[in-house]
Amino acid sequence: MALSDRIGQSPITCEPRDTDRYGRMVAVYRKASEDLNAWMLSQGHAIAYQWYSTDYVAAEATAKATKRGIWAGAFTTPSD
């Protein structure tokens, strides 16, 4: 819901970066120049998957520090 509210009716671009072991595309999604991946992480709606990139570690740390989204309570990452 948060992501669809953020996007609204705006066009989105997708910049493929890699393919995961299941054949899924790993990409950066943008609304104009805004990196939606970074926005999702900074709001606590996602976690940084560091296998493919460390670009979003700082955004996740900010969400943790400010207890946003999934970081508002107890949360165990899926990898744990």
pTM exceeding 0.95: no
Cα–Cα distance, 35 to 71 (Å, whole number): 21
Q: Are 26 and 19 in contact (CB under 8 A)?
A: yes
Are 37 and 49 in contact by the 8 Å Cβ rule? The answer is: no
Which DSSP string corresponds to 33-71? TEEHHHHHHHTTSS---TTT-STTHHHHHHHHHTT-GGG
Tell whether the torsion through CA atoms of 31, 21, 1 and 77 is positive or negative: negative
Q: Hey, what CATH topology would domain 2-65 get?
A: OB fold (Dihydrolipoamide Acetyltransferase, E2P) (2.40.50)
- What would the pLDDT profile of 56-75 be if each residue is shown by its tens digit? 999 999 999 999 999 999 98
Domain boundaries defined on the chain = 2-65
- pLDDT tens-place string over residues 37-61: 999 999 999 999 888 889 999 999 9
